[in-house]
Structures are given as structure tokens and as C-alpha cells.
Structure 1
Amino acid sequence: MLKKLQSGLLESNSKNSSSHYTSVAASAYHCLVLAWYFFVLYSLAHLRTEERPSEVFLYGGQWKYLTVLNLFLQAVFYGVSFLADVLRLIKELRCAKCVISSRDLLFSVLAFPVSTFVSISFWILYTYNRELVYPKSLDGVIPSWLNHTMHTAVLPLALLEILATPHRYPAKKKGLFLLGCVSFLYVSWVLWIYFVTGEWVYPLFASFSPAGLGAFFISSLAIIICFYNFGEFLNRMIWGDSIVILDYKRKGK
């Protein structure tokens, strides 16, 4: 009986130790990626703009571009993820529950689908005709490494997050509704900028008729919904239907 008890205690301690090291590794990873996105945003904010390309207009600043908004979104997500990791490490589990819920919602509805959409759609259009989304004149303003950071690295980092951490996806209707609302807000922002300035955020939009532009926006929404479903599929395939559960009552004693 005593041997069984000792064996059980050793197994429990081993699991707790493994869980602790996993949490430490996750917090270190999220901290590093957060610092990386802060560095990228800082670099983007301090670009030399004395010779501004004619395709770039001032209204809305950098915040009119989905790419830049996505970088800010990723920084917020990894900040929330790091906070959740720290709260779990210091056993502030009641606070961690709320932060983890926010983290999972942010990742599932926005961070993964938007990163995937930004990366894939950019490189498809860039390959077809770069002048539609990223005129050659920008090469003299934005370094190549920064371009790849904004449009390439965001996708593998999003995929790595799925591999590193299980996320609880919301009910399908709720997730798609929130994604649709955010998409509508961005499209409204793009249309408002055109109404005020007479300029399109992306040269691509100028090639469409009003009906064609509407069809393009609807198609883009359908694509980003597919990326949402793809993220949910990957999460389930890797982690099963398991959900991160914190036993507050037991650990709080």
C-alpha cells in the first residue's frame, strides 16, 4: 500500500514538473514573439519617408493597410498569451481563466485567419502583378526583410502557435459572426478613405467596377472564412477535442 502511494506521489510530481517546464517554455516563446512584433512595428514606424512614393497617400497613415493592422493584432495576441502564461506560472488561476478565454477567442477569430489571409493573398497578387498591391517604388522605402516579415513570417508563426498551444474555438456561429463584423469594419474603413480622398488603399481596387468590387469583397470574406475553418480543423487534428481546463477549486486550496 505504501509503495503504491509513493509511486502515485512520484508520478504526480513528475507530471507537475513537466507541466511547469512546458508553461515556462510557452511563456518564453510568447515573450520572444511579442518582442519581435514590437521590433517590427517600431521599424515600420521609423521608416524614412522623405521620398514618399506617389502611390502612397497620407490619409489614414499606416493604419489603412491590413498588413499593418495585422502586425498590431499579432502583437496584442502574443501580449495576451504571455500574460496568460505568467498568470498560470504564478498560480493566479482565476485571472488566468479570463485571460485564456480572451486569448483563444482572439487567436481563433482574428489572429490565425487574418495572418493566413494577409500572407497568401498578398503573395498570390504580388506574383500576378505586384503593382496591384505592392508597387515597385516601395522597394526604396521598405527593406526586403521587413516586407517578408510583414507578409511571409506571419503565416509560419501562426501555424507554430497552433502546434505549440491548444486553443478553445468558440461556437461556429459566434466565431463567424465576429469575424464577419471585423471584416465589415475594415471594408467600411477602406470605403470611407476612398470617399474622403478619392484614392484607394490598394491600387487593385481601382480596376473594379462597383459590382466587381462588391464581388471581390464577398469573395475575400468567403476565403477568410475558409481560413477560419482551416485553423479550427488543424487545432482539432493536433489536439483532438481536448480543452485546456484549470482545476481552480483543487489548485486553489
Structure 2
Amino acid sequence: MEISTLATYHCLAFVWYFFVAYSIAHIKTEERPSEVFLYGGQWKYLTVLNLVLQAVFYGVSFLADVLRLIKKLRCAKCVISSRDLLFSVLAFPVSTFVSVSFWTLYTYNRELVYPKSLDGVIPLWLNHAMHTAVLPFALLEIFALPHRYPAKKKGLILLGFVAFLYISWVLWIYSVTGEWVYPLFALFSPSGLAAFFAGSLAVVVSFYNFGEFLNRMIWGQFEF
């Protein structure tokens, strides 16, 4: 794509994700089911955190495009490095995981991840914006321009560290409230939950590898 076209696309994507994140963050308090929005508010849900992540990523991408357009190449190079690291390690694997895992569990038993009580609170379009649209956006980004992936070890360490932080946040919320972020977790024994977290991490890693594979197949191989 031309830089101007990329800048337009990244700007629109940033505005979209900002709007979606704003919409979910400003659901009226009296409309929220008390059993859903407890300690941690929306910020305990990976879906909502992913919206913020995507908004940040597309904001950084737009900044990189603007810097290239105005010929600030030295600054652009630094921002592009940050953009590519953010996309490869987090933006692509997390958004793919959110979409695939949500709809898989929703199809099996929606009460495990998205209780029916939310239907009267979160509009259908917002549900799809959070859980469906994130996947085609991520794929389109790979096809739109090349991204430099970090060395495999570096990328997986960073991804694993972020996963550890989120799992720690989930466990902390449970220790404070006695309630799990997702009803699904209550079905597991401690060892079963550990296995579930390990399996989920393995799935996220597979999405990381898938993104790297697509990027390499389309644009060729290059690393930080």
C-alpha cells in the first residue's frame, strides 16, 4: 500500500478501536449485571484489554505513517520498530486468541464466557466489534504491510511474560473477591486450571507462530 493509504487505514482503525473501547467503558452503571462487573470492572476481561491494545497499536502505526510522510525517517524508524514488536508479540496473537477462543466457548456453552444477561446490556454490534472484527483486522494488517518479527526466543519470552501478568491479575481478582473472571474457571480443580492456563498459552503461542508464518510467506524473512 501507499504510505498515504496506510495512514488513512491506520487512522480509521485507531478511531474505530477507540470508539469501541469507549463504548464498552461507558456502559451505564445501572445497566450492568452486578455478578459480571465486580472488582476490576471491565479491565479484568481479556477482550476489553485487547481493545485498548489494538487502539494503542493502530495509534502507533498511524504515527509511524505520518512520520514517514513528513520525511522524519530517523524518528519513523524507531516508531516502526515499536509498531512491529507490538504487532508481532501482542496485537496479532492476542486478537486472534480472543476471537477464536470466545466463539469456540460461546458455541459450546455461552454461559461460560458471555452470560445471557449481557444481551440486554451490550448491543449485538458491540459484541461482534469486540469478538469478531478483531480477527479480520489482524489478518488485514499482515496483508497490508510487512512486519519485522523479533528473534523467536525474544518474542516468546515477551509473550509469555504478558500472559503471566494477565494470569496473575485473574488470580488476584479471585483471591480478593472469591469470584472467577470467567465462570468457566470455576469448573476446574487447581491442577485442572493450571493445565487450562498452560493449554491457553500454547494456543496463543501457536497464533504467534501462525502470524510469523503468514508474514514470512507474504513478505519474506527478516528479524530484529
Aligned to 1:187: 167
Query: Among residues 94, 101, 106, which one is paired with 2:81 in the alignment?
Result: 101
For residues 61-82 of structure 1, the C-alpha deviation after alignment (integer angstroms, 9 at most, x for no partner) is 1100000000000000000000
SS of 2:29's partner is coil
The residue correspondences of 1:239-250 to structure 2 (distance < 5 A) are 239-241=219-221
Provide Cα deviations, 1:147-179, integer angstroms capped at 9, x if missing partner: 000000000000000000100000000000000
Which of 57, 62, 86 is the matching residue for 2:42? Answer: 62
Code of the aligned partner of 1:32:
L
CA distance in 1, matches of 2:50, 2:117: 22
TM-score by length of structure 2 reads 0.97
Q: Which residue of 1 aligns with 2:122?
A: 142
Does 2:119 match 1:121? no
Q: Post-superposition shift, 1:46?
A: 1.9
Report the number of matched residues: 224
Paired position in structure 1 for 2:155: 175
Report whether the alignment pairs 1:152 with 2:132. yes
Q: Deviation at 1:55?
A: 2.9
Whole-angstrom distance in 2 between the partners of 1:62 and 1:140: 16
CA distance in 1, matches of 2:223, 2:186: 46
Q: Counterpart of 1:128 in structure 2: which amino acid?
A: Y
* Contact 1:77–1:111 (CA under 8 A) maintained in structure 2: yes
Match of 2:10?
A: 30
Q: Any idea what SS the aligned residue of 2:221 has?
A: coil
Give the whole-Å Cα distance in 1 for the aligned partners of 2:31 and 2:161. Answer: 36
The answer on whether the counterparts of 2:111 and 2:183 sit within 8 Å (CA) in structure 1 is yes
1:154 is matched by which residue type in structure 2? V
Q: Quote the offset at 1:52 in angstroms.
A: 2.7
1:44 to 24, 37, 51: 24
Local SS of the residue matching 2:19: helix
Unaligned runs of 5+ in 1: 1-20, 245-253
Larger Rg: 1
- Assess if the C-alpha contact under 8 Å between 1:166 and 1:243 holds in 2: no
- Aligned residue for 2:2, secondary structure, equals helix
Distance in 1 between residues matched to 2:187 and 2:223, nearest whole Å: 46
How far apart are the structure 1 equivalents of 2:144 and 2:37? Answer: 40
Q: With the length of structure 1 as denominator, give the TM-score of the two structures.
A: 0.86
1:47-98 deviations in Å (ceiling 9; x for gaps): 1231432431321111000000000000000000000000001010110111
Identity of aligned residues (%): 81
- Alpha-carbon RMSD: 1.3
Separation in structure 2 between the aligned mates of residue 37 and residue 116 of structure 1, nearest angstrom = 15
Q: Counterpart of 1:123 in 2: which secondary structure?
A: helix
Structure 2 counterpart of 1:229, from 199, 209, 217: 209
Equivalent residue, structure 2, for 1:6: none
Distance 2:166 2:35 in 1: 20
